[in-house]
Amino acid sequence: MYGDEATVRRILTELGDTWAVVGLSGNSARPAYRVAQVLQRFGKRIVPVHPKAETVHGERGYACLADIPFDVDVVDVFVNSSLAGAVADEAVAKGARAVWFQLGVVDEGAYARTREAGLDMVMDRCPAIEIPRLT
C-alpha cells in the first residue's frame, strides 16, 4: 500500500486545505467532479486543473499547475497512470506539500521521486472515501 493511515490522516487533516484537482472538468459524469464536491463539503478549497481551464464548483480553473498564482497544499491526480508521474513532478516544482493519486492511478517511480523530494504521498486511494472516516 502506498500511503499508510498516518499519511492519509496527515494529508486530509493537517497539511492544508487548498487542493489542486488535476483532471477536474465540468463533466458531472466523471469521478473527479464528484470527489471535488466531497472535498468542498469537508472544507477544502478545490482548484480545477484541466487543459480547458473551466470553472467548476464555483472555482476558477487553470490549464496546468504552474498557472495557479497561489500556493497549493495537495495535488489530487485524476489522470491516466502513464501521465501521472509528470504531474507529480510538477507538484514538486510547484511546492505542494503532498500528492494524492486516485484509485487506479499507480506509478511507483513517481511515488519514490515524490517521497524523496520530501512530500507526503498516497497512491491508489480516494480522499472522498477516506475523509468521512476521519470526522
pLDDT digits (tens, 9 = 90+) for 46-82: 999 999 999 999 999 999 999 999 999 999 999 999 9
What Rg value do the Cα atoms of the chain yield, rounded? 13
Tell me the pTM.
0.96
Cβ distance 16 to 97 under 8 Å? yes
Is the model more confident about 35 or about 2? Answer: 35
48 touches 56 (CB < 8 A): yes
Supply φ then ψ for residue 59, to 5 degrees: -110, 135
What is the arithmetic mean of pLDDT over 107-125? 97
Cell representation of residue 104: 487506479
Answer yes or no: is pLDDT of 1 > 90. no
